[in-house]
Structures are given as structure tokens and as C-alpha cells.
């Protein structure tokens, strides 16, 4: 087959991949070709625009290393990460909604006892976080692993300022107690812009978009027999709740971080300045019993 033109090239490529033996590879490859060709037909790029697109993707790749994943950031800012999340995480009654993982999760987070203060050397408004983990029908889950991480009150994570602060902070791994509860102290996080010094930042600018995320605390919660929950709790009233650059906000994940005067906090600690209290009760759904082992 030769002499393809605008009208015949798509079928020619589809025919060429018809022999793919893995049915999923075939399905995905065919959809990729159909949608990519439809995109090009709609946009009708000039040769120069096509080169610009290739250069944009090349720069995105060059911006990726062990510490920076510009392709995931691209997926996040185009709403693809939240679309994949929505497809894969239907939420039954009683289960907590999910949202993006983001680039600041650290696998080797320090294990802490309930009640610990994880703010390290960071200064800010004290924040008490209390919460529980249970099944969708309200049975407390003891021994669940609760990973938490959040930014400081300037909007920076520990891993973005390790040369200044020397060690991880504002992140830890807790275990729920016999009643499925956990609690810790830290400082209240602020809204922050996602890393926007690369091609994704350039894209946001030309699309007339800001790079900000509303203030939030990340949670990753695991318990044997239950689907791992990746989510955040957002600070009610934040001005970016309706324009989160990665489309991650859901009403059920917004909570008041309640302001309290100095004094004795609910966990018995005496606090010398005003502080904020977040409480959130998480629901985990069971792994489907017919789920295939990965």
C-alpha cells in the first residue's frame, strides 16, 4: 500500500497494527491512532506548529528526572490525572473520595507515634489534626497506615527546601489505634503554585491560567484487604478551591480548619498561641473479592 493522503492514511495505519497479538495493546493502539489523527485533522497544524509541539514534548521529557516528573504535571494540569482517578475510583456510600497524589509524596517517610508534632524546624500557626479510619459501614480500622504530608505556611514542602531545613518535616507515617483513630500536630499549610518553571508553566501562561493549588493536607491510607486511599483535605474558604490548577477539589474533601484561642487543646496539650483544628473521618472500601491479583 502506498500513496496515502489525508483521507486514507488513518485506515492504513490501523490496518498495519491489526496483527497486534495482545488485544489490549491493539485496542489502545487503535484508539491512539484514531484520536491522534482526528486531533490533527481538526487542528490542521502548520509544519512549524507541529515542530513546536514536538519541541514542547521534548522539553517536557528533558525536565523529568528522579526529583521532577514534568509529564505527570502535564497530565495533572490537563485534567487527565483526575480523569484516570475518576475512572478507577468509584466511590460507594461511606467511602472517602480520592484525588491526585502529586509529586511530593516520599516513600521513606518517618514513622511517628500518635500525638507527635511533625513540624520539625518549621514555624507557623499550630495545627492539630485528628481523624479516624473505618470501613464504609463505620467499623473502626485499627492498625491502618496513615501517611500525611503538607506544605509550610509559605506553600513549600520539606523536599523543596532540604538544603535550608536539613531533614524531612511536615510529613510522617502513623498507625491508627484500637479505635481506628490517629492524631498529630503540625503547622497550618498555605496555598501554593505547582512547579511552573518548566514547559508546563509556559503552557499555563499561554493558556491564561494561574498555577495555584488551594491549601491542603495530603493523606495516603492503607489497610490489608482495603483499597489504598490517596486523597487530601482542603482548607475551607481558600480562594483557589474553584480554580485548582490540577482540578483536584471535591466538596466532600473540604473542611473547616477551626481556629481556637490559646489554651488546652482536645488532646490535653497546652498551646500558647491560637491554633487550628482539623478533624476528618476517612472511609476505606474493601478490595473487590473478585479483583485479579496484579
Residues forming the site for Fe ion (CB under 5 A): 102
Going residue by residue from 63 to 82, which x/- string records binding to ligand BEZ, judged by CB under 6 A? ----------x--x------
Number of other CB atoms surrounding residue 239 within 10 Å: 10
Q: Looking at beta carbons only, is 220 or 223 nearer to ligand BEZ?
A: 220
Site stretch for ligand BEZ (CB under 6 A), options 9-17, 41-49, 101-109, 121-129: 101-109
Site stretch for ligand BEZ (CB under 6 A), options 20-28, 100-108, 171-179, 275-283: 100-108
Residue 100 touches which member of Fe ion, ligand BEZ, none, C-beta under 5-8 Å by kind: ligand BEZ
104 binds ligand BEZ (CB under 6 A): yes
285 binds ligand BEZ (CB under 6 A): no
Q: Looking at beta carbons only, is 102 or 199 nearer to Fe ion?
A: 102
User: Where does 136-269 have alpha helices with state H?
Assistant: 162-165, 199-206
The Cα–Cα gap between 16 and 4 comes to 13
Chain residue at closest Cβ approach to Fe ion: 102
CB 136 within 8 A of CB 94: yes
230 binds ligand BEZ (CB under 6 A): no
The Cα–Cα gap between 133 and 58 comes to 43
Please list the residues that pair with 173 across neighbouring strands: 111, 147
Q: Can you state the percent helix, strand and coil of the chain, rounding each to 5?
A: 25, 25, 50
What is the footprint of ligand BEZ within residues 164-203 (CB under 6 A)? 194
- What is the closest distance, in whole angstroms, from the C-beta atom of residue 213 to ligand BEZ in the complex? 5
Per-residue exposure over 48-62, b if at least 16 CB sit within 10 Å of its own CB, e if not: eeeeeeeeeeeebee
Residue 199 touches which member of Fe ion, ligand BEZ, none, C-beta under 5-8 Å by kind: none
| Cβ burial, residue 192 (10 Å; 0-12/13-18/19+) | buried
Q: Which residues bind ligand BEZ (CB under 6 A)?
A: 73, 76, 100, 102-104, 194, 213, 246
Amino acid at each position: 500500500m502506498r500513496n496515502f493522503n489525508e483521507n486514507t492514511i488513518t485506515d492504513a495505519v490501523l490496518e498495519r497494527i491489526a496483527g497486534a497479538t495482545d488485544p489490549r495493546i491493539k485496542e489502545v493502539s487503535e484508539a491512539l491512532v484514531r484520536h491522534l489523527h482526528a486531533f490533527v485533522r481538526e487542528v490542521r497544524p502548520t509544519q512549524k506548529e507541529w515542530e513546536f509541539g514536538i519541541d514542547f514534548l521534548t522539553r517536557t521529557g528533558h525536565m523529568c528526572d528522579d526529583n521532577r516528573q514534568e509529564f505527570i504535571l502535564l497530565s495533572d494540569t490537563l485534567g487527565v490525572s483526575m480523569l484516570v482517578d475518576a475512572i478507577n475510583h468509584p466511590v460507594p456510600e461511606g467511602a472517602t473520595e480520592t484525588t491526585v497524589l502529586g509529586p511530593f509524596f516520599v516513600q521513606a517517610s518517618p514513622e511517628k507515634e500518635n500525638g507527635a508534632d511533625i513540624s520539625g524546624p518549621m514555624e507557623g500557626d499550630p495545627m492539630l489534626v485528628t481523624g479516624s479510619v473505618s470501613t464504609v459501614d463505620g467499623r473502626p480500622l485499627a492498625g491502618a497506615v496513615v501517611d500525611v504530608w503538607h506544605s509550610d505556611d509559605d506553600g513549600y514542602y520539606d523536599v523543596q527546601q532540604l538544603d535550608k531545613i536539613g531533614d524531612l518535616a511536615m510529613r510522617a507515617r502513623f498507625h491508627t489505634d484500637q479505635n481506628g483513630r490517629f492524631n498529630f500536630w503540625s503547622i497550618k499549610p498555605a496555598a501554593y503554585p505547582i512547579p511552573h518553571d518548566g514547559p508546563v508553566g509556559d503552557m499555563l501562561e499561554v493558556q491564561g491560567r494561574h498555577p495555584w493549588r488551594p491549601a491542603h493536607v495530603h493523606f495516603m491510607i492503607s489497610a490489608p484487604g482495603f483499597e489504598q486511599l490517596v486523597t487530601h483535605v482542603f482548607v475551607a474558604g481558600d480562594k483557589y478551591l474553584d480554580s485548582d490548577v490540577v482540578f483536584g477539589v471535591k466538596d466532600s474533601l473540604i473542611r473547616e480548619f477551626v481556629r481556637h484561642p490559646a489554651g488546652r487543646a482536645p488532646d490535653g496539650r497546652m498551646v500558647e498561641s491560637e491554633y487550628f483544628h482539623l478533624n476528618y473521618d476517612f472511609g476505606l472500601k474493601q478490595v473487590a473479592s473478585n479483583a485479579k491479583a496484579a
